[in-house]
Every structure is written in C-alpha cells, then in structure tokens.
Amino acid sequence: MRAYFDYNASSVPLPEAREAVSRALAEGHGNPSSMHAEGRAARAIVERARDQLASLLGVSSRRVVFTSGATESNNTALRGFDATEADVTIVTTQIEHHSVLATATALESRGARVLRLAVDVDGQPDLGALERATRSGRCLVSVGLANGETGHVLDLHDLRTALAPGTVLHVDAAQAVGRIPLTLAGVDLLSLSAHKFGGPKGVGALVVPETLAWPSLLTGGPQERALRAGTENVAGIAGMGAAAEACARRMAGEGTRLASLRDDLWRRLSSALANVIRLTPIQGLPNTLTVAVADVASDVMVAGLDLAGFAVSAGSACAAGAIEPSHVVRALRVGEAYRGGVVRISMGHATTQSEVDGLATAFIEVAGRARKAA
C-alpha cells in the first residue's frame, strides 16, 4: 500500500472536485460562448466557479480570469507589463518558481531591466533594496507568497509597506491558495493553479485589477473579458471552483491538523537521526516539511522511500547526471554538508496519522542504509 507525500507537486483531488468535474462533463458540454440553452448551461458552470474562487480569495469575481495554470498566469503577468520601454524594471527574488525566473530572463534578453533580490535565511527579501528599486521608475514586483520547495512564507504586509507608490505587485500564490489565509489588499495580480489545492490539473487563474488594463498573452476570441482567448475548460474550471469552496470551509481546521502532523514527523526524524536539519520554518506552510540530511543524497532517499511505498520529492535538481543544489537551497545558504540531501515532504487532505507514522519509520531506515552505503 502506498502513501502520497508530494502535494506541493500536485495534490490528491478533493471528492468535491471530482464530482464537479464529472457533473460538468455530463451537463456542460455546450460552448460557454454559445447563446443556446446548452451554451448557457456551460456558462453558468463557469460563472459559478468564478464566484467560488473569488470568494476563497476575497476579491471581486470580475477580477478572476481563468487560465491553464500558474505558469501561464505568471507569464501573462510578467509579459503583460511593458518591460521594454525606458525606465521600467521587473523586480523578483532568487527563490522564485522557474516560470517567473525564466520569463524574467527572457524579457531581459529583449532589453528589460531585471533585478533578482537576495533573500535571508527566512526567505524574506531585503526590503531596503526593494524600496530603492521601486523608487527608481515604473516597476513590477513579482514574488511568490509561499515557496513550494521549502515552505517559507513571505511577509506580504512588510513587503507591501516597502513598495513605492505606483508599483505593480504580482504575487505567485500557487502554493498558498487553499492552504493559508490570504489578504490581498494592495495585490494587483495573483497567480494560482487548481491542482495545488485539490482541483484538477491544467486549469488555474490570474487575478487582475478591475481598473488597470492588462494585455492578454493569448489573443483571438473575446473569452474571459477579452483577457484570455480560447474556449474555457468548463470541466476543469468546475473542479477548481468546487475545490476552492471546499478549501474555504476546511482551511482553518485542516491547517492545524497538517501542522500537527508535520511537527510530529519532524520530532521523530530529529530524535532518531543525527545531522538532520529542518528547512521549513514553524510559521511556514502547514503541510510542508523540508529536511536536509548530511552524508545522504536526496535522489537515493527519494528512490528508497519510493520502493518502501512513500512518494516524496527531492529538493535538488538533476543536472548533467549529477545532483546539484537547487537555486532555492543555494539562495537560502544551506550548509554545504546538507545541500545534497534535501527531501521535501508535503501533505494534504488525504494524509493520515498512520501514513505519517509509516513514513517516519521508513525515512529513518532508508537514511540509515544510505549512510552505511556511502
């Protein structure tokens, strides 16, 4: 029997989401842009989901534009900002998702000015440098609210306070939506993916300003207020809306439950293993525990736990056949002895205490064998 501990990569779909997808496939087969009864039924499904997601986020439903996921939303947010004109800057940090960093690099190659701020060991950017950057001209700040690799959560209040007036703020909230409460005052653009909080893959959203015009990455038809052309993914959108509504009901209690499981798992690992450190802070994502084990390779840990029936992920990326520390691990200045042994454990609604018990035992055993073999 297997146990899944990789929710930050993709979550187990919520029952409400599965039911909504199935129902939408049966009842929402019309095109939402069609004027006949079947089209109107599909449109009603889309708009209900828009309201459900807006309610979870605490924003007007008019701000919600459906996309294929956070990668598309991040691209739309950054590419929609005219970063090639004079005296314009994109500011981000060194620990962002690749869809932000790679897009910023692509814009930089076309003449955009890009600043990639360093972060401290708590994952927070230098607010002084941020303030100076946003006072130097027209500026878009693009930051992740929660880091999917380590679980660090950005202090959004302090960040907003540091921004110069007129700064456009984009927040990648893919790992935060449905897991922690959001306060979006002062946030102009926000990206998310349904599959991170119990919805289906291949659907997400970009929250846009009601008053600030934002160009579309995809042009064509007038869908999504002419901000994202193409026929909407009705079934996926329905599943995302249902997942959002379920998360809104359960988030507070579920966050407490998962944080308790996370901390219990850490107590077991840290008491049984020498030279293991916790990268996820206590105030980090409640579902995430990222640890680093000295003298052990993360790919060996992932493979050993997979064979034991547990799905976890490595906090390192494979490059040219060798495990190298990820950009996040390097930016957080994790000690050299621990960089190669980073393992991310992420939980969700289907995670049980017995699964955590089993993972603790297996993790200790696999780490012990790996150290003896090293």
Residue 142 bridge partners (DSSP): 170
Residue 201 token pair: 């893959």
Q: Tell me which residue of 199, 190, 269 sits closest to 237, measured CA to CA.
A: 199
Active site (annotated) includes residue 247: no
Q: Are 214 and 189 in contact (CB under 8 A)?
A: yes
Marked catalytic residue, from 35, 252, 282, 318: 318
Q: Are 106 and 128 in contact (CB under 8 A)?
A: no
Q: Tell me which residue of 242, 183, 222, 168 sits closest to 20, measured CA to CA.
A: 242
Neighbouring C-beta atoms of residue 41, cutoff 10 Å = 17
Q: List the catalytic residues.
A: 318
